[in-house]
């Protein structure tokens, strides 16, 4: 056990909790199921937000903000939606010292609030499309919670778009799942499968739900983002119509899509190790930390002076010099390691004399001595290498732990060991339910790139035309 962190081999779930707490990403709140996101965790979220927000804006979206209180009657307007969300809703019944005439639901998601407003904003085809995103918190009263992966209140973004035609809305739904794939693969270094959810697993109120699914180090799946084609369901519930070019009155077509602070949980479980957190450089709040080493005041002045000189003109957000005198270097090494800073630089009096520093990679532990000239450029290159190597390692895991499986007994025996299983499924609800109840696994997605291939349903033996991916999931 390094620094109070349980090893992955000993207890994977405890390891995860230890990493989150010891790296100071988050802490438990006084309210059960809620989480306090500490500065390191919030710094990662800010980097997720900043980069995704740019990608949303580059694809034509704008941000707005809608209130968190939703009249209870709104939620009841869409039958599937209320059925899916009602058990998880927190409801405000009293405010201002008296009972409310109508209870207010704390948003579990904002479709109903937003479509009640779109009704006022949309009259003609000229008002379309509307491409709005909101960064917000939502509340879902979960029975079993886990830091970042499932908490009662969490942070997310939710896009809500309105379109004149089905084709355009479906195109938007697919566009956004690919934006998520791009982001998660390129910034969080998590390779994902892109696919369609089954009707049982889709969003409550959607026609179709697209998803990205990642594989964690224990082989379990993590749904990392979803994009929904909502058809006319919400337009009908809120009577949102428009006059089209052909003068006909039509219902507006909708999409919604979201990712949340769950991505941080996925990032931790994809890359971190028994020594603590490993953060992909592109979302690391602090990419490089200098730990100067001294024994006397004179040495302290020398090494701190040298570190300052080396970093002159560098972006202050790129690095930090850990000049704290109350901690020994060994303590600092361990702290920055647990906190997942991608590169640590050690500089002592002898390094200063030689014009070098010792550079240590967090992901591999590899140490090398480097000259201080041109150091910044070399660090930038090294950060790219770390980013790529984290992705490649995760990709190898995804590939090596995904396999075809044609035999139910084989599946039932091994699905609990983790990994993705490409199985034939006839499409029947009963077979999907059987898998969930008997093997605690779910059909994660029907991959978009799944080729046509005839086979027999692993549960009932009926004809199937292509494989789906099934696994146990978080």
**Contacts to Zn ion by CB under 5 A:** 426, 428, 431, 457, 459-460, 462
Which CB atom, from 412 or from 460, has the smaller least distance to Zn ion?
460
Structure tokens at 106: 């704390």
Q: Considering the complex, what minimum distance in angstroms separates the CB of residue 465 from Zn ion?
A: 12
Which CB atom, from 230 or from 426, has the smaller least distance to Zn ion?
426
The β-bridge partners of 359 are 345, 368
Residue in the structure block whose two tokens are 């702290």: 335
Q: Considering the complex, what minimum distance in angstroms separates the CB of residue 464 from Zn ion?
A: 7
Q: Considering the complex, what minimum distance in angstroms separates the CB of residue 198 from Zn ion?
A: 12
Q: Considering the complex, what minimum distance in angstroms separates the CB of residue 455 from Zn ion?
A: 11
Which CB atom, from 395 or from 456, has the smaller least distance to Zn ion?
456
Which CB atom, from 399 or from 433, has the smaller least distance to Zn ion?
433
Q: Is the peptide bond before 129 cis (omega within 30 degrees of 0)?
A: yes
Which CB atom, from 79 or from 428, has the smaller least distance to Zn ion?
428
Distance CA(23)–CA(45), nearest Å, equals 15
Q: Considering the complex, what minimum distance in angstroms separates the CB of residue 440 from Zn ion?
A: 18
Distance CA(129)–CA(164), nearest Å, equals 7
Q: Are 362 and 278 in contact (CB under 8 A)?
A: yes
Q: Are 193 and 469 in contact (CB under 8 A)?
A: yes
Whose CA is closest to 361, among 332, 394, 331, 387? 387
- State how far the alpha carbon of 361 is from the alpha carbons of 212, 279, 294, in Å: 29, 11, 22
CA 255 to chain centre: 20
Residue in the structure block whose two tokens are 């990642």: 214
Q: Considering the complex, what minimum distance in angstroms separates the CB of residue 412 from Zn ion?
A: 15
Which CB atom, from 79 or from 462, has the smaller least distance to Zn ion?
462
- Measured distance between the N- and C-terminal CA atoms of the chain, rounded to whole angstroms: 25
Whose CA is closest to 33, among 109, 156, 143, 155? 143
Instruction: Region of 189 please: left (phi>0), alpha (psi -120 to 50) or beta.
Output: left
Which CB atom, from 418 or from 427, has the smaller least distance to Zn ion?
427
Q: Are 347 and 321 in contact (CB under 8 A)?
A: no
DSSP conformation class of 327: S
Q: Considering the complex, what minimum distance in angstroms separates the CB of residue 430 from Zn ion?
A: 7
Q: Considering the complex, what minimum distance in angstroms separates the CB of residue 435 from Zn ion?
A: 10
Which CB atom, from 169 or from 446, has the smaller least distance to Zn ion?
446
């Amino acid at each position: 056990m390094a620094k109070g962190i349980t090893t992955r081999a000993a207890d994977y779930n405890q390891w995860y909790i230890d990493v989150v707490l010891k790296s100071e990403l988050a802490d438990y709140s006084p309210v059960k199921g809620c989480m306090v996101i500490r500065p390191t965790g919030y710094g990662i979220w800010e980097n997720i937000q900043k980069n995704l927000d740019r990608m949303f804006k580059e694809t034509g979206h704008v941000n707005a903000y809608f209130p968190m209180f939703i009249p209870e009657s709104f939620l009841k307007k869409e039958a599937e939606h209320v059925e899916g969300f009602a058990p998880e809703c927190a409801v405000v019944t009293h405010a201002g010292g008296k009972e409310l005439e109508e209870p207010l639901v704390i948003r579990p998601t904002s479709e109903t609030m937003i479509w009640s407003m779109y009704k006022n904003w949309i009259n003609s085809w000229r008002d379309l499309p509307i491409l709005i995103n909101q960064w917000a918190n939502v509340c879902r009263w979960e029975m079993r919670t886990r830091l970042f992966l499932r908490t009662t209140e969490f942070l997310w973004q939710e896009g809500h778009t309105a379109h004149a035609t089905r084709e355009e809305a479906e195109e938007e739904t697919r566009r956004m799942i690919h934006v998520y794939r791009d982001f998660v693969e390129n910034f969080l270094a998590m390779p994902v499968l892109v696919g369609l959810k089954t009707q049982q697993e889709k969003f409550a109120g959607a026609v179709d739900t697209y998803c990205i699914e990642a594989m964690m180090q224990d082989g379990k799946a993590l749904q990392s983002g979803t994009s929904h084609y909502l058809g006319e369901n919400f337009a009908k519930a809120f009577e949102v119509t428009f006059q089209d070019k052909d003068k006909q009155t039509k219902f507006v077509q909708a999409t919604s899509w979201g990712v949340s602070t769950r991505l941080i949980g996925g990032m931790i479980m994809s890359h971190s190790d028994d020594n603590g957190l490993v953060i992909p450089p592109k979302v690391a709040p602090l990419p490089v930390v200098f730990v100067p080493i001294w024994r006397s005041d004179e040495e302290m002045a020398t090494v701190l002076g040298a570190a300052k000189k080396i970093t002159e003109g560098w972006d202050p957000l790129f690095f930090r010099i850990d000049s704290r005198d109350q901690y020994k270097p060994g303590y600092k090494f361990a702290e920055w390691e647990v906190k997942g800073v991608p590169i640590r630089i050690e500089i002592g009096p002898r390094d200063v004399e030689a014009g070098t520093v010792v550079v240590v990679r967090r992901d591999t532990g590899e140490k090398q001595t480097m000259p201080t000239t041109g150091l910044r450029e070399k660090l930038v290159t090294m950060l790219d290498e770390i980013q790529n190597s984290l992705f490649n390692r995760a990709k190898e895991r995804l590939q090596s732990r995904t396999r075809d499986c044609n035999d139910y007994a084989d599946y039932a025996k091994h699905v609990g060991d983790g990994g993705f299983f490409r199985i034939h499924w006839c499409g029947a609800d009963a077979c999907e339910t059987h898998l969930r109840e008997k093997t605690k696994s779910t059909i994660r997605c029907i991959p978009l790139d799944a080729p046509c291939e005839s086979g027999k349903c692993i549960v009932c033996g009926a004809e199937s035309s292509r494989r789906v991916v099934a696994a146990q999931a978080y």
